[in-house]
Amino acid sequence: GESVGLHLPTLSVQEGDNSIINCAYSNSASDYFIWYKQESGKGPQFIIDIRSNMDKRQGQRVTVLLNKTVKHLSLQIAATQPGDSAVYFCAESYSGNTPLVFGKGTRLSVIA
Partner 1 sequence: GAVVSQHPSRVICKSGTSVKIECRSLDFQATTMFWYRQFPKKSLMLMATSNEGSKATYEQGVEKDKFLINHASLTLSTLTVTSAHPEDSSFYICSARDQQRHTDTQYFGPGTRLTVL
**Residue 32 within binding range of partner 1, rule CB under 8 A:** yes
Sheet of strand 19-24, all strands in order from the earlier edge strand to the far edge: 19-24, 72-77, 62-67, 56-58
H or E segment and range at residue 14:
strand 10-14
User: What are the C-alpha distances in Å from 8 to residues 88, 90, 93, 100?
Assistant: 10, 13, 22, 20
CB of 70 to partner 1, least distance (A): 21
| Cα radius of gyration (the chain) | 14
Per-residue binding string, partner 1, 77-106, x by CB under 8 A, is ------------x-x-x-xxx-xxxxxxx-
Stretch that binds partner 1, among 18-26, 29-37, 58-66, 73-81 (CB under 8 A): 29-37
CB of 3 to partner 1, least distance (A): 14
In the complex, which residues of this chain contact partner 1 (CB under 8 A)? Answer: 7-8, 32, 34, 36, 41-46, 49, 89, 91, 93, 95-97, 99-105
